[in-house]
Structure 1
Amino acid sequence: MGPALLFCPADRPERFTKASDRSDAVILDLEDAVRAEAKATAREAVLASDLDPTRVIVRVNAAGTEDFRHDLAMLARSPFRTVMVAKSEDPAGFAAFDDDFSLIALCETARGVQAADRIAAHPQVVAMMWGAEDLVASLGGTSSRRDDGAYRDIARYARARVLLEAGARGVAAIDAVHIDLEDEDGLEREARDAAASGFRATACIHPRQVEVVRRAYRPATESVDWARRVLEAARSERGVFRFEGRMIDEPVLRHARSVIDRAD
């Protein structure tokens, strides 16, 4: 799965193919993007879709809700087996899924972020994502960002915690959406930081954000060339060694391998 994941409202089936074609994977959203009265229609649209299941994620409603139960019943009849669980707060709720489902846990409330370690440890969780706006709302706040556009400390903490717990369990971490569609420079800065920090992907809410994210995750040619050179040099070295003016040890070599992985 590539770095740019694109949300698409599940009640807009006319957008499904375009969203899939323009992104690395499409997230068919049965939760916040769909009004309550349209959720049944949205489920039927997902069920009728002929998208490639390997490039589809279905975001379901929060565990324990009536809509969640209806979502599960629909998924059982569908070919889609990668599911994003909205407002994940307790891994016990994942017991509702059969073993053939792969789960992306969306930690977007105070309880969800607090339980990120236990959520990441669940055997069916393959990725973790965090959400800024729902998190701040769960705390009674009004904005996840300061006037200069930077995240408030609580959002930065949640972002770091989800990334850390995902990494500790060897699962992928997905960065939150950038809701200011006009701020492409801000999106690119955040996506570059996400890639450098260890996130595997960034979620998008508009097709025009996809290429910005891809560009941000794509390592510079100079970085790739250096990574290849240092890894080649490491084949004939033991332990710590000097290369092009830098001291190289195993953590630096792991960074280089990550650059090559992203480039490939």
Structure 2
Amino acid sequence: MLLWRYKNSLLCLRTFIRQTAVAGVYGGQTESQSKPYTPRRAVMYVPGNDQKKIQKVTSLDLDCAVLDCEDGVAANKKEEARSTIRRALDECDFGLTECVVRVNSVTSGLMEDDLGEVLGAKRMPDTLMLPKVERPQDIDMFTKRLKEVLQGRQLETRPFLITYVESAMGLMNLRDVFKKTIDLQLKEQLYVLDGVVFGSDDFCADIGATRTADAKELLYARQKIVTCAKAFKLQAIDMVHIDLKDLEGIERQSLEGARMGFTGKQVIHPSHVPIVQRAFSPTQEQVAWAAELVEAFSKHTESGKGAFTFHGKMIDMPSVLQAKNILQLSANIGPTQG
């Protein structure tokens, strides 16, 4: 009976989330538009100039496919990547997978051409990713160019925008970058800020750190990014695990990231996708616990009594909020086994 009740609760929550996805609860969205919460457990990069890989990614059980114009594409293949991505947007069926385009950075001198070509497609990407954001002025320049490209175009829904932290300066200015982006979001109505990605390799190079297996050298940066993202109700995407053969390592690092509060992780190989998505998903046991706790809390509230215990533990509001978060996530992605 309890199992049926929590499954029914998930269906109700899914409907509620899709109807209220922009009420300031999810993704930093602050005004009404009909967009659901978008899970990004595994965020996989695909070189924009590789048509075969783009086609292959559409067949994967993947949350988020990033068609890349930036680091995944050689300098002499940038133009090819733009035109290939433009065709893919109109010709490929990505199904439930979020279709994302990562343009080059503002300072690269390539972003303008990326946006001009890619957004010439009939279909808009679901999300745009802007790498190497260091200052609020970068968002000003990006927004100005996006406005020029979209001039006169009627958008059914605005794309999400996800920025990157890849340097010490970007980390120190993250709060101001978010504030500027949200200000421009409300003013220009061109995008909806929805998350931030930690570009760990560029960050390490910038601060002169050496990458290690346990990534202790990145602990401060990861924690600050998560904290700042959650303060603005944004998703936080964790670093890439660069050892393709170390499946145990990526599972360990993914579980660690999930415990820290990250909502997903970058991946660069299809074999990593199921491992990462499982790590960032609630288990059936967790969902059952959450549903039972929320039900117990509801009955307790109706009774008007004081503090209560659940499974031998005193319950406070943070515990209830954690349970509700588990149910809300499961409503979008479903529980996993174990």
- What's the offset of the Cα at 1:43? 0.5
C-alpha contact (below 8 Å) 2:164/2:199 kept by paired residues: yes
Partner amino acid, structure 1, of 2:318: P
TM-score normalised by structure 1 residue count:
0.91
Larger radius of gyration: 2
In 2, distance between residues paired with 1:65 and 1:215? 36
Larger RCO (alpha carbons 8 Å, 6+ apart): 2
1:141-220 to 2 correspondences below 5 Å: 141=209, 143-145=210-212, 149-153=213-217, 155-220=218-283
Q: Post-superposition, which runs of at least 4 consecutive aligned residues in structure 1 deviate over 6 A?
A: none
Greater fraction of residues in strand: 1
Question: Who is 1:20 aligned against?
Answer: 58
Question: Who is 1:224 aligned against?
Answer: 287
SS in 1 for 2:73: coil
Question: Who is 1:105 aligned against?
Answer: 163
C-alpha contact (below 8 Å) 1:59/1:85 kept by paired residues: yes
C-alpha contact (below 8 Å) 1:90/1:115 kept by paired residues: yes
Partner amino acid, structure 2, of 1:103: L
C-alpha contact (below 8 Å) 2:98/2:126 kept by paired residues: no
Deviation digits for residues 216-243 of structure 1 (CA, Å, limit 9, x no counterpart): 1222222221111111100111453211
Q: CA RMSD in A?
A: 1.8
Deviation digits for residues 56-86 of structure 1 (CA, Å, limit 9, x no counterpart): 1111111132211111212331322511111
Q: Does 2:140 match 1:77? A: no
In 1, distance between residues paired with 2:136 and 2:160? 13
In 2, distance between residues paired with 1:152 and 1:233? 40
SS in 2 for 1:6: strand
Relative to structure 1, the CA distance from residue 240 to residue 75 in structure 2 (aligned partners, 3 Å threshold; closer, same or farther) is farther
Question: Who is 1:57 aligned against?
Answer: 100
TM-score normalised by structure 2 residue count:
0.72
C-alpha contact (below 8 Å) 1:30/1:43 kept by paired residues: yes
- What's the offset of the Cα at 1:132? 1.2
Question: Who is 1:117 aligned against?
Answer: 175
- What's the offset of the Cα at 1:247? 0.7
In 2, distance between residues paired with 1:44 and 1:214? 30
Over the matched positions of the two proteins, sequence identity in percent amounts to: 30
Q: Does 2:199 match 1:131? A: yes
Structure 2: gaps (5+ residues): 1-37, 148-157, 183-191, 332-338
SS in 2 for 1:103: strand
Relative to structure 1, the CA distance from residue 101 to residue 227 in structure 2 (aligned partners, 3 Å threshold; closer, same or farther) is closer
Structure 1: gaps (5+ residues): none
SS in 1 for 2:118: helix
C-alpha contact (below 8 Å) 1:59/1:83 kept by paired residues: yes
Partner amino acid, structure 1, of 2:285: E
- What's the offset of the Cα at 1:101? 4.1
Partner amino acid, structure 2, of 1:226: W
C-alpha contact (below 8 Å) 1:7/1:29 kept by paired residues: yes
- What's the offset of the Cα at 1:187? 1.1
In 2, distance between residues paired with 1:86 and 1:163? 17
1:7 is matched with which residue: 29, 45, 67?
A: 45
- What's the offset of the Cα at 1:156? 1.1
In 2, distance between residues paired with 1:195 and 1:263? 14
C-alpha contact (below 8 Å) 1:6/1:204 kept by paired residues: yes
Question: Who is 1:233 aligned against?
Answer: 296
Partner amino acid, structure 2, of 1:92: Q
In 2, distance between residues paired with 1:243 and 1:14? 53
- What's the offset of the Cα at 1:52? 5.1
SS in 2 for 1:185: helix
SS in 2 for 1:32: coil
SS in 2 for 1:237: helix
Partner amino acid, structure 2, of 1:112: G
